[in-house]
C-alpha cells in the first residue's frame, strides 16, 4: 500500500502569534460554549500574514494544489507545517475544489507531504483464502514514517458471516515508478479480529500503486478511489 516519509519544516512560531495564543487561552475559558474562530498564519513572499480565519486562509491559498507548498502556523503548533499536512485545514483545502485542476493534469511536487493524513477507500471486492468479501481500507499516515489503520471486510449478502477487521500498523515508503505511478509500500504488523476474538496475528508487506487525481484523492491501478478525510478532533 502506501508509504510516506513526511517532511515537516521546523521553524519557530512567530512571537506575536505566541502572545495571541495566550490571549486565546484566556478567552476560551470564558466562552466555553462558543468556540473561538480559527487563527491561521501563513508565509508569503518571505512575509508572515495573519491571523486569518478560514475564509481568509482559503482566499490567500487560492488553489488546493498550493497547500502542498504553503507553510502555516496555528495556535497549539510547535513549528510551521505545510498546509497539506494539517488535519484541521483539510476541509478548507478540499472545499476549494479538486476541479481546479483536471485529474489527468494534476501533479504532485512533494509526494511524501501529499500522503500525510487520514485516508479511506471506497468499498471494493476482495477475495482471501477463496472467500469473497467487500472491503474498505482506512489508514492514518504519520510524518515520522509510521502508519496505523485497518482493513475491514464483510459479506453484505450473508449477515451470518462475521465481519473481519485487520488492525494494522507499521512503517511505509513511497517511490515513483518508471510508468509514472507512485508505489506506496508498507511493512505491516497486523491482528485479525472476527467478532471480539483475535484469530491470528503476524507480519506482512504490500504495495499500493496509484496516481493522484487531486489534492485529496488518488486512484489505484485497480481503479479503487481513496480520499483524504478530515481527522477527528
Domain count of the chain?
A: 2
Q: What is the pLDDT of residue 156?
A: 65
What pTM, to 2 d.p., does this model score? 0.57
Closest to 75 in 3D by CA, of 132, 126, 22? 22
Highest mean pLDDT among 18-32, 94-108, 152-166, 185-199: 185-199
- Asked if pLDDT for residue 29 goes beyond 60, the answer is no
Which of 102, 131, 165 finishes a domain?
102
* 82, part of any domain: yes
Residues 66 and 134 in one domain: no
- Mean local confidence (pLDDT), 195-208: 89
Residues 39 and 133 in one domain: no
- Mean local confidence (pLDDT), 220-224: 92
Residues 145 and 176 in one domain: yes
Alpha carbon separation from 171 to 96, 155, 164, 192 (Å, rounded) = 31, 29, 23, 18
Residues 25 and 70 in one domain: yes
Which of 46, 67, 102 finishes a domain?
102
What's the CA gap between 9 and 79, in Å, rounded?
Answer: 7
* 166, part of any domain: yes
pLDDT tens-digit readout, 64-112: 667 778 899 999 888 898 887 777 787 777 666 544 556 666 778 788 8
* 10, part of any domain: no
- Mean local confidence (pLDDT), 192-202: 86
Give me the CATH number covering residue 125: 2.40.128
Burial label for 162, CB within 10 Å (0-12, 13-18, 19+), is middle
Q: How confident is the model at residue 158 (pLDDT cuts 50, 70, 90)?
A: low
Residues 79 and 128 in one domain: no
Residues 139 and 32 in one domain: no
Q: What is the pLDDT of residue 78?
A: 86
* 6, part of any domain: no
Domain ranges, residue 77? 15-102
- Asked if pLDDT for residue 5 goes beyond 90, the answer is no
- Asked if pLDDT for residue 125 goes beyond 80, the answer is yes
Closest to 217 in 3D by CA, of 89, 118, 146? 118
Which of 102, 132, 163 finishes a domain?
102
Are the C-beta atoms of 110 and 219 separated by less than 8 Å? no
More confident residue, 147 or 6: 147
What values do phi and psi take at 14, rounded to 5? -60, 140
Amino acid at each position: 500500500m502506501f508509504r510516506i516519509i513526511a517532511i515537516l519544516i521546523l521553524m519557530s512560531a512567530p512571537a506575536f502569534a505566541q502572545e495571541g495564543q495566550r490571549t486565546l487561552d484566556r478567552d476560551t475559558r470564558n466562552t466555553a460554549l462558543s468556540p473561538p474562530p480559527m487563527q491561521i498564519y501563513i508565509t508569503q513572499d518571505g512575509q508572515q500574514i495573519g491571523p486569518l480565519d478560514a475564509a481568509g486562509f482559503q482566499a490567500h491559498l487560492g488553489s488546493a494544489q498550493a497547500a502542498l507548498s504553503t507553510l502555516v502556523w496555528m495556535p497549539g503548533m510547535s513549528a510551521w507545517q505545510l498546509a497539506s499536512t494539517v488535519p484541521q485545514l483539510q476541509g478548507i483545502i478540499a472545499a476549494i475544489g479538486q476541479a481546479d485542476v483536471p485529474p489527468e493534469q494534476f501533479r504532485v511536487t512533494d509526494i511524501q507531504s501529499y500522503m500525510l493524513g487520514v485516508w479511506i477507500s471506497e468499498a471494493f471486492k476482495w477475495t482471501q483464502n477463496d472467500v469473497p468479501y467487500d472491503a474498505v481500507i482506512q489508514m492514518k499516515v504519520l510524518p515520522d514514517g509510521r502508519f496505523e489503520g485497518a482493513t475491514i471486510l464483510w459479506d453484505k449478502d450473508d449477515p451470518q458471516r462475521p465481519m473481519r477487521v485487520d488492525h494494522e500498523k507499521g512503517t511505509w515508503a513511497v517511490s515513483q515508478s518508471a510508468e509514472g505511478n507512485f508505489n506506496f509500500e508498507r511493512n505491516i504488523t497486523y491482528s485479525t479480529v472476527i467478532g471480539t476474538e483475535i484469530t491470528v496475528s503476524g507480519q506482512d508487506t504490500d504495495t499500493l500503486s496509484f496516481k493522484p487525481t487531486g489534492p485529496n484523492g488518488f486512484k489505484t491501478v485497480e481503479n479503487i478511489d481513496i480520499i483524504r478525510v478530515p481527522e477527528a478532533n
